[in-house]
Amino acid sequence: MAWRTRGAPKRLSTDTAEMSATIDWLEKELPDDHWSRPFAPQIKVGSLNYYPDTGTLYYDNQKGLKRQALSAFQAAVKRQQDEIWGGD
């Protein structure tokens, strides 16, 4: 896919524990083409953006929400998955 030629690799040797936990969860829960890593600190699932190291969670064109834990990101991904992809 074209987006794979841009952005950061899905895993980096410098990943923090927070980023690694997020990626571990995504690899178990979503097909590889349903999420990306546009920049080293960012994970993107559809219009949802998450920065695991700061806990910033927001949708495209919106302000960031207050600091969120991985569990908030997981809940948002599951809601989006149900709405867009029909869930599992």
pLDDT, tens digit, for every residue of 68-85? Answer: 788 888 888 888 877 766
CA-based nearest residue to 35, from 81, 83, 75? 81
Say if residues 37 and 20 touch (Cβ distance below 8 Å): no
Q: Which helix (H) or strand (E) holds 43?
A: strand 43-45
pLDDT computed for residue 10 by the predictor: 93
> Which pLDDT band holds residue 6 (cuts at 50, 70, 90)?
low
Q: How far is CA 15 from CA 59, 67, 86, in A?
A: 23, 19, 31
pLDDT computed for residue 45 by the predictor: 92
Domain boundaries, the chain: 15-71
pLDDT, tens digit, for every residue of 20-65? Answer: 999 999 999 999 888 999 999 999 998 889 999 998 888 888 876 6
